[in-house]
């Protein structure tokens, strides 16, 4: 099945990329979640619009990505959330929570889809979170989760 990605999908590509996937994966996962559109000649014209929107949001140059990575490394991000007396959170910290906490701490606007967490954060304390700013640049954020 030939599809056009509308959002970044790990391991497949960036928005605007034309990909070929198995029918079941496209029909049952990518299309219902809005990650892709069926490829047609009319939809192919939308690729340029998708790529323009992506380039406006994206950190374009490698040098700029390195600058943002330095800013993030020096930033102390604190996130207040509800927790029990044993230090376990009610729920977990999401990538959206981290992106808004970075913004409140004076950092740059981050796309929540670029924040990579290997395991969900469910405890109070200090945590390291990785952010993919550019294909060659990853930054680590020091996140302090405190009880609200």
- Model confidence pLDDT, tens digit, residues 96-105: 999 999 999 9
Burial 14-32 (b: 16+ CB within 10 A, else e): ebbbebebeeeebeeebee
| Mean pLDDT value of segment 58-62 | 65
Token pair in block for residue 27: 């029909």
144 has pLDDT over 90: yes
> Which one is predicted more confidently, 87 or 60?
87
Residues 124, 100: one domain?
yes
Residues 73, 142: one domain?
yes
Residues 68, 135: one domain?
yes
The residue with tokens 């029909």 is 27
Degrees, nearest 5: CA angle 95-139-133 = 75
Degrees, nearest 5: CA angle 110-115-116 = 170
Token pair in block for residue 69: 């990575």
Range of the domain at 92: 62-147
The most confident of the ranges 8-12, 40-44, 66-70, 144-148 is: 144-148
Counting the structural domains of the chain, the total is 2
pTM for this entry: 0.64
CATH number at residue 19: 3.40.5.10
56 has pLDDT over 80: no
């Amino acid at each position: 099945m030939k599809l056009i990605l509308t959002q970044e999908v790990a391991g497949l590509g960036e928005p605007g990329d034309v990909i070929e996937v198995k029918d079941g994966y496209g029909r049952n996962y990518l299309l219902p979640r809005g990650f892709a559109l069926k490829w047609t000649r009319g939809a192919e014209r939308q690729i340029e619009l998708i790529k323009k929107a992506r380039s406006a949001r994206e950190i374009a140059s490698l040098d700029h990505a390195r600058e943002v990575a330095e800013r993030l490394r020096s930033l102390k991000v604190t996130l207040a959330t509800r927790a029990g007396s044993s230090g376990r959170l009610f729920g977990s910290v999401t990538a959206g929570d981290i992106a808004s906490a970075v913004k409140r701490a004076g950092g740059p606007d981050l796309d929540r889809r670029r924040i990579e967490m290997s395991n969900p954060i469910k405890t109070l304390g200090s945590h390291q979170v990785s952010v993919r700013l550019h294909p060659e640049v990853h930054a680590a954020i020091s996140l302090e989760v405190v009880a609200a």
